[in-house]
């Protein structure tokens, strides 16, 4: 019962460094997404995917790249980290079937950019 697994749980970067946040799900869900959570602003959608090979932008996509080569994995890449990207990041997945509409979340990654 792994569900949605995010790694790492914590990360500190220097401005300009790059890194990839990993996300994997074992529920064979079609839809996967990345959110960021900032104080007083709730969760905001960064990017999402409706299946392998298909991705789209959310509300705050700038500075982030994604790809979906398999159903299970949906990594989020920061090419050149900026202090404004300090946040908590959540990966989520759900089935594409309307009747199975519950979104499952990973435990989050706390990222600090110095």
Partner 1 sequence: AQTVTQSQPEMSVQEAETVTLSCTYDTSESDYYLFWYKQPPSRQMILVIRQEAYKQQNATENRFSVNFQKAAKSFSLKISDSQLGDAAMYFCAYREISSGSARQLTFGSGTQLTVLP
* Interface residues toward partner 1, by CB under 8 A: 31, 33, 35, 40-45, 48, 50, 56, 58, 88, 90, 92, 96, 98, 101-103, 105, 107-108, 110
CB nearer to partner 1: give 84 or 101: 101
Number of Cβ atoms within 10 Å of the Cβ of 5: 15
CB of 80 to partner 1, least distance (A): 25
The gap between the terminal CA atoms of the chain, to the nearest Å, is: 36
Helix, strand or coil, per DSSP, at residue 18? coil
- State the number of CA atoms in the 13 A half-sphere of 101 facing the CB: 2
CB of 44 to partner 1, least distance (A): 7
CB nearer to partner 1: give 77 or 110: 110
CB nearer to partner 1: give 17 or 37: 37
Q: What are phi and psi of 83, to 5 degrees?
A: -55, -30
112 and 13 in contact (C-beta within 8 Å)? yes
CB of 113 to partner 1, least distance (A): 18
């Amino acid at each position: 019962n792994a569900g949605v697994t995010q790694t790492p749980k914590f990360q500190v970067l220097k401005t300009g460094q790059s890194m990839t946040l990993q996300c994997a799900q074992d529920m064979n869900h079609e839809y996967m997404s990345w959110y960021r959570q900032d104080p007083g602003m709730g969760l905001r959608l960064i990017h999402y995917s409706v299946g392998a090979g298909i991705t789209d932008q959310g509300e705050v996509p700038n500075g982030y790249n994604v790809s979906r080569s398999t159903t299970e994995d949906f990594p989020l890449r920061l090419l050149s980290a900026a202090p404004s990207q300090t946040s908590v990041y959540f990966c989520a997945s759900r089935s594409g079937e309307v009747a199975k509409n519950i979104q499952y979340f990973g435990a989050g990654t706390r990222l600090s950019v110095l």
